[in-house]
Amino acid sequence: MVRRHDPERRRRIIDAAIRVVGRRGIAGLSHRTVAAEAQVPLGSTTYHFASLDELLVAALRQANEGFAAAVRDSAVLADPRSDPAGELARLLGEWLGGERSGVELEYELYLAALRRPALRPVVAEWTEGVTEALARRSDPVTARALVAFMDGICLQVLLTDTAYDEEYTRAMLARILAGGTTADPDADAATGT
């Protein structure tokens, strides 16, 4: 069905691109496959997105919002009396335990920046946004280390099909937040140190 006035068309095209990448990978993405998925004329995709890189940038921006929004909006992380390591480990567990294909898609788009330089600024925006949110409870250097560690955990879980270990993640996040040491004997026991 072709709609003459469709103010949501751009968003539907982005949603369709995300579904195409989710099913076929980035190699299966084309203006034609997205137009078919979105049920819009081919010219609509090229009108809104002159290149596939532009479309991938929009898709990555939209896909990146899940975990970043959870970190930004966490009332627990904003509370100075809370356990930030525990809250981050819990948020990461919820994200990884949710729709697996959505997490895989987000990382597929994220890692596509290795070969598509147009995506790198979006990855940098995401990293900076999450780092800024985490810096509310630490300093910017520590916040960046937290983001790097959480990225590493996510990649390990996705690429090795291992189960997410929330307690291990909490213990390691606590160490990073404490500057590499921990006064928590339970965390040391959980990690074997």
pLDDT at 1: 46
Cα 192 versus chain centre, distance? 30
Please report the domains of the chain, with CATH numbers, ordered by start residue: 9-61 (1.10.10.60), 64-186 (1.10.357.10)
pLDDT at 106: 83
pLDDT tens, the chain, 193 aa long: 445 567 789 999 999 999 998 889 888 999 999 999 999 999 999 999 999 999 999 988 888 777 788 888 888 788 888 899 999 999 999 988 877 777 888 888 888 889 999 999 998 998 998 999 898 888 999 999 999 999 999 999 999 988 999 999 999 999 999 985 444 545 444 545 4
pLDDT at 54: 94
The number of CA neighbours under 13 Å toward the Cβ of 191 is 16
Contact between 85 and 150 (Cβ < 8 Å): no
- What are the phi and psi torsion angles at 21 (to 5°)? -65, -40
pLDDT at 182: 43
pLDDT at 5: 62
- Give this prediction's pTM: 0.77
Contact between 71 and 90 (Cβ < 8 Å): no
pLDDT at 60: 86
Q: Which of 6, 104, 9, 17 is nearest to 58 (CA)?
A: 17
Burial of 37 (0-12, 13-18, 19+ CB in 10 A): buried
Cα 23 versus chain centre, distance? 18
Contact between 169 and 89 (Cβ < 8 Å): yes
